[in-house]
Structure 1
Amino acid sequence: MSQPIDFWTLLTLTQEHISENYAAELTDKDKLSQLKSYIEKYLRDMNYTVEGSTQNELVDKIFCEMAQYSILTKYLGSPNLEEININSWNDIALTYLDGSIIKIKEHFNSPQHAVDIIKRSQRYDY
């Protein structure tokens, strides 16, 4: 029987599990691709579910939170996007090359979540 859980709790549990069991394997950037399989196995073994999300969606979303740039990931590298304006943790606007500005509904989970993702984005090349 599946265990319903909210996404942010599941993310925390998954991060703890990965850190405890696979930290050594994930210190090598080349092995980062294995992270998705570790996440998938953990979700399957624990039988966690989040309302409104399939297992594949959960794996992708958790991977995005752990190894990419959270809600910003899908916008990075967009050829029509000029800039991403993060005004606050819950106020993000996209400026497109044609001058249009669109506020997105998505936002970070908390002010600290925004800080963590922004710091992560400054450490890596796109």
Structure 2
Amino acid sequence: MFPMVTSFKKYGQLTIRATRYFGQSFMITLSQANHLLVTIQYPYEKLITSEHFCGRIHFEFDKCIACEVCARVYRIDLHVVGWKFEIDIQKKLLLNYSIDFGIYIFGGNCIEYCPTNCLSMTKE
């Protein structure tokens, strides 16, 4: 055959294939238009979370005995516990406690190993 005829034939086949792909993607888009919206009006409606959901960490300053178990669970400097030893009462006093949420992965190991349960996970 003539080279021009074969090139027009290939062009026609490619055009038909592209039109078919475009039509399939358009049909998928239209099929999703009939579904109900899943948007939740956040302050007024709460999403039901799983019982294994790991949310924010809640820390109770009064319960902490500054044992630093939470800091030793993770190898990196994730938890920073500042304390000083009071000689007259023979006890550690907690000065400050902070968590670097930039590297925290919300695994919950620090909560699991805390002896006084001063750390807990919220559902938020």
Greater share of residues in helix: 1
- What TM-score do the two structures reach when normalised by structure 1? 0.21
**TM-score, normalised to structure 2's length?**
0.22
Greater relative contact order, per chain length (Cα 8 Å cut-off, separation 6+): 2
Task: Select the structure of larger CA radius of gyration.
Answer: 2
